[in-house]
A and B are shown apart, each in its own frame.
Chain A
């Protein structure tokens, strides 16, 4: 029989293998299982055969008796099977059959992935550095005044610093749960997400410029952005937790989904006012002959649809007003 000594959170502190019975449990040094607990008697209990091939734990006249950890009930005798827990003083013991079959080992997704592409030092350095360059380039292209390079690099550094704070948070959690920091990996993950965002929004600008009507590029790219975020969160979770891979993705999806839902709900009140505004217009430097265009007449045919839209909108608003009155 294996006796596991558990701490308050249920984590195994110590395991003792008992081969000969009766065996004694108590605070005294002569016991087979020694418990360092002031609420345990020097000789607290004895584990012995019950005469039917089973084991029983018998109290030896202790001050605090034996207690069922679930119900708190005190008892003098407790039949012991594999998996039974009992409290002596303030210590919880769990009995296990050494022949019991165990669950197969968890696949360490984290380790698998971490040792995979992201954990390679050269790649990590390239991603982090690349993100810095991308941030600088992005802010340089968006600036239309005279800007010094130091200013741009400063901005990119501030952004990277914020990412580092995020990564630091995850690394600390990682240290607590897995005794490993893995800071570079936690830094690489948001860098991948950030770079993905920058690239995706650049692609979106070009697509909405080249094919302005018909396809909601913004929504499509927002979807890609969300997917990247879900991946990032799952990758962090894979490193800090022992969750199965499915659970990592589910948690991540739930968190991102909930946040997106809250933001969407918060903005939904403004929908009718801003729907169809011209905020999406992007101008890109392409030679005129490469730009897909329509004739003014074709464009004005599209415009005619707008009249129907606002007329319908007007009718709906009138109906709503009538209802309100």
Chain B
């Protein structure tokens, strides 16, 4: 969730917010369409509850909708993630419009796009037929779900196209999606499913998983001969593995753009799904100057309440001074270089980190480097990697650069670090 907040810090995001507030106004006035949509389609939407077996009480709720006459229900992966991570402790049930509850099984998942297909006992429920949808920007859409477990609600908003600069496609929906509506459908006035409610950045900036991803997963789950995997957690690992393989392949390839910061040349925007921003500061009370440049993927993959993954960040800091002597300047570099590391994740999900340090020579640069890694305990083959390097030898300037990768294979991380190292250099005179 922190990533969404970080995205808001980009000045451009403020403009988007402004638009959201304006277009949101008519929705508050209400429209006869919403009432109609609700009347026609509400029965196809259900509440999904994750139940803790021992206490028999619900531990999480979300929404879902029928997509077939044989009891197939679509929701978000994150609504049923407890079941997948700890099947021995949790079960799930759906509550339909008639307040009847039925036990459901998770049939198929798509952890990257945050989708799950559930299987319920068929009971003649009405359902949404899925078809590719590409509405025009500005089309009025209706999102349904159970916000804060307050009962089925309908929210009106507008379609604002696919997000740019994201690793996987997401629809920008201008409307208020709230916790509990996750997994519910967002439909057109005619009842065509456009996407699945998934997340929000607040203030009517909400996100949907596009329907084509839903069609693909439902197609897979309802294919004749499809067998539900024994361990869905293994499926999670497999999906994350193939996902990182695709997006890491070209990261920091030769064509990666570079920028000049101080006297150094550093890579920036390693792929279109990165967002980069920067700042420079000089304060009279401080005897040194800093230039910062950072890039980060906008997305993360939700694995469980304790673990998220798929985040890549890149941060360059150039420090320079005219007032500090070389010893004091290197104290400054040391303090900026040491200290940070991985974001905290519990012992149940990752191993403690292990690090190695070394001084490395690149053409024109001597660098001191730290490479740290930790392994995912429940998802075989996945690691987090933290790499940090600082330039050495210049008495009054230095570059500190950090690369973090999460949910990647060790081999991929190693390859990316190798390319990243190779892309660092001195700015041409």
Which residues of chain A have a CB within 8 Å of any CB of chain B?
140-146, 209, 212-213, 272-289, 291-296, 298-300, 302-307, 309-311, 313-314, 317-318
Asked if A302 contacts B356 (CB within 8 A), the reply is yes
Q: Is the CB of B359 within 8 A of A310?
A: no
Once A146-B287, A285-B395 are accepted as A-B contacts, the answer to whether A291 and B375 lie under 8 Å apart by CB is no
Within 8 A of A (CB), among B276-335: 285-288, 323-324, 326-335
A313 near B354: Cβ-Cβ < 8 Å: yes
Please name the residue on chain A nearest to B362 by beta carbon.
A296
Across the two chains, which residue of chain A brings its CB closest to B338?
A281
> For B328, what are the chain A residues with a Cβ–Cβ distance below 8 Å?
140-144
Residues of B within 8 A of A289 (CB): 393
Q: Which residues of B contact A144 (CB under 8 A)?
A: 287-288, 324, 328-329, 331-332, 335
Question: CA–CA, A56 to B171, complex, Å?
Answer: 114
Contact B359 A293 (CB under 8 A): yes
Asked if residues B351 and A285 are in contact (CB atoms below 8 Å), the reply is no
Residues of A within 8 A of B366 (CB): 288, 291, 293
5 sample A-B contacts, Cβ–Cβ < 8 Å, listed by A number: A278-B372, A285-B395, A293-B360, A303-B371, A306-B372
A270 (CB) vs chain B CBs: closest residue: B352
* A291 partner, pick from B355, B393, B418, beta carbons under 8 A: B393
| A284–B353 CB distance below 8 A | no
B383 within 8 A of A: yes
Q: Is the interface of A mostly helix, strand, loop or mixed?
A: helix
Let me know if B355 and A293 touch, CB within 8 A: no
B193 — which chain A residues lie within 8 A by C-beta? none
Question: A144-B324, A209-B368 known; 12 other A-B pairs, CB under 8 Å?
Answer: A142-B331, A275-B352, A278-B372, A281-B338, A286-B392, A288-B392, A300-B417, A307-B383, A310-B383, A311-B375, A317-B351, A318-B377
Contact among B334, B347, B354 for A310, CB-based, below 8 A? B354
Flag if B371 contacts A306 (CB, 8 Å): yes
In the bound complex, residues from chain A placing their C-beta under 8 Å from that of B371 are: 299, 303, 306
Partner of A281, one of B323, B331, B357, B422: B357
Most buried by B among A295, A298, A299: A299
B414 interfacial contact with A, CB 8 Å = yes
| A313 x B368 contact (CB < 8 A) | no
Q: Does B146 sit within 8 A of A, measured CB to CB?
A: no
Instruction: Let me know if A285 and B334 touch, CB within 8 A.
Output: no
Encode B393-422 as 1/0 by CB contact (under 8 A) with A.
Answer: 111001000000000001000100110011
Q: Which residues of B contact A306 (CB under 8 A)?
A: 354-356, 371-373
Q: How far is the CB of A274 from chain B (nearest CB, A)?
A: 8
Asked if residues A276 and B353 are in contact (CB atoms below 8 Å), the reply is yes
**Residues of B contacting A309 with CB < 8 Å?**
354
- In contact, A141 and B331 (Cβ under 8 angstroms): yes
Are B361 and A282 interface neighbours, CB within 8 A? no
Q: Name the CB-closest residue of A to B288.
A: A144
Residues in B whose Cβ lies below 8 Å from that of A282 = 334
In the complex, residue of chain A having the shortest beta-carbon distance to the beta carbon of B370 = A278
Whether the Cβ atoms of B355 and A283 lie closer than 8 Å is: no
- Please list the 5 inter-chain residue pairs (A to B) with the smallest Cβ-Cβ separation, ordered nearest first: A288-B393, A285-B326, A293-B361, A144-B332, A288-B366
- Structural contact, B356 and A213, CB atoms closer than 8 A: yes
B356 and A272 contacting across the interface, CB-CB below 8 Å: no
Query: Across the interface, which residues of B come within 8 angstroms of A303, CB to CB?
Result: 356, 371, 414, 417
Complex Cα–Cα for A178 and B337 (A): 52
List residues of chain B with CB within 8 A of the CB of A281: 334, 337-338, 357, 368, 370
How distant is A203 from chain B, measured CB to nearest CB, in Å?
14
Q: How far is the CB of B347 from chain A (nearest CB, A)?
A: 8
Contact B418 A283 (CB under 8 A): no
The reply to whether A304 and B414 form a contact with Cβ atoms under 8 Å apart is yes
Give chain A nearest CB distance to B122 CB in angstroms: 38
Question: How many Å from the CB of A198 to the closest CB on chain B?
Answer: 14
Q: Given A278-B338, A283-B333, A309-B354: A299 and B373 within 8 A (CB)?
A: no
Contact: B352 with A272, CB < 8 Å? yes
Q: Are A287 and B393 in contact (CB under 8 A)?
A: yes
What residues of chain A lie closer than 8 Å to B287, measured between beta carbons?
Answer: 144-146
CB of A286 to closest CB in B, whole Å? 7
B72 interfacial contact with A, CB 8 Å: no
User: Do A277 and B393 form a contact, CB below 8 Å, given A212-B357, A212-B358?
Assistant: no
Is the beta-carbon distance between B368 and A283 smaller than 8 angstroms? yes
With A288-B393, A303-B414, A310-B373 as known contacts, state yes or no: A213 contacts B358, CB within 8 Å.
Answer: yes
User: In the assembled complex, which residues on chain A have CB atoms less than 8 Å from the CB atom of B354?
Assistant: 275-276, 306, 309-310, 313
